[in-house]
Chains A and B, each alone.
Chain A
Amino acid sequence: MKILINNFKIFLFFIILTGVAYPLFITVVSQTIFKDEANGSLLTKNGKIIGSELLAQEFKGKQYFWPRPSAANYDSSSSAASNLSPDSKTLRETIEKRASANGLERNSNDDLLYASGSGLDPHISPESAERQINRIAEARHLNIQKVGELKKLIVDNTEDRQFGILGRVRLNVLKLNLVLDEKF
């Protein structure tokens, strides 16, 4: 009986310490000094929340940059991946469909051919952005000079590897589209 009581006491102590005090402490500090980040890096336009910088949202319009395909159907409250293996027939068929929808070669390693791990990947590679230029230019009726500016827009908005070493070069699709709407 004593062993039960002693272990129960120490268990309760740790519940309070690690289950209550620790997360509350992190929350209070975060909400004080990193408020925006702690609340999901939300983006607003005209005072309304239009999404999070970190979560992909669906773009179907031809005048926009498109994010990577999503196995979660861009439902940010229910992240998901396809989990299809590289030798799955279903995956190969899906890739073909995406290739023809995007006008891409199906053997390329373009991000736009493959659903992301989270279904909410906010980024695409610079190459994937460049491949969308023609479509966007056509939809927005841009002249040659404007197309040049659009190309520059991609370069300007490209995020380098963090500290020059970590991760990959990428573009945030939502932020890119916001600038796109502003300038073109």
Chain B
Amino acid sequence: MTTLVLIEAEGAAIKKASLSAVAAARAFGAVDVLLIGAHGAQEAARIEGVTRVLHADSTPHLAESIAALIADRASDYDHIVSAATAYGKNVLPRVAGLLDVQPITEVVEIIDANTFVRPIYAGSALSTVRSRDAIKVLTVRNANFDAASLSDAAPAPVEAISAAVEVPDAEYVGIELTHSDRPELESARVVISGGRGLKDAANFKLLEPVADKLGAAIGASRAAVDAGFAPNEMQVGQTGKIVAPELYIAVGLSGAIQHLAGMKDSRVIVAVNMDPEAPIFSVADYGLVGDLFEVLPQLKAELGA
């Protein structure tokens, strides 16, 4: 049996989250991918480990249509997978609903074909569950799986498919991409957060040049929000946003537990703090004891090199 992975393209390129989903799915065996929309089929064919690309170029980006398309072909598969992006999280549970299956979302580890680990309670606990369903419908967290690489060796065949099924009446109006050059906190690949060590709201701007260099989102500790240095929507932590970027840079924040709860799943953590005893160092992969007012300009310069 085979796994079907719903992938997404951005322009002609396949999204990195989707490449991670393919890599995760390869644990089960052969992988077919399903791509919706006009672009990206060529690159999809080059994903390592993909045996077939199903390309529905005229299907709208609507959960109703995509889920129906997948459910229609589900009997060919024992696993249906996507990345746990807003796109995947919108579509796959609907697929599960159509198939009378309990989906397993936000998977961070695959134990075997039926057994998966997923975080619950905002990551305060990890739950291992074994599915009794014949078809497993999963979304996987891309931060926990390496991306599949692209290869020119033997592109997989691309098969055009179309939807013939009747779907509920929904209309795709459009998407307004966020104009800010800065990504959103929860989906950013890199997050740089400031704490009270920045001393005032004006100094928060010191994070921006570094964030620009890294394409990072900017976050703040609760203490910094509390002190009025940053707006609440920037708060990372138990009571704010939970983030798990590839790289998390904590600047001038001590690392209160409530903050750690919001960022400890980041892949790589960097801490910059004056106080060598700050708890943030106990979770940091790379710690730099120093004055952030000196470190930030240096960091910007080094990154520019």
Q: Are both chains from one complex? A: no
Q: Which residues of B contact A (CB under 8 A)?
A: none
Using a CB–CB cutoff of 8 Å, the interface residues on chain A facing chain B are none
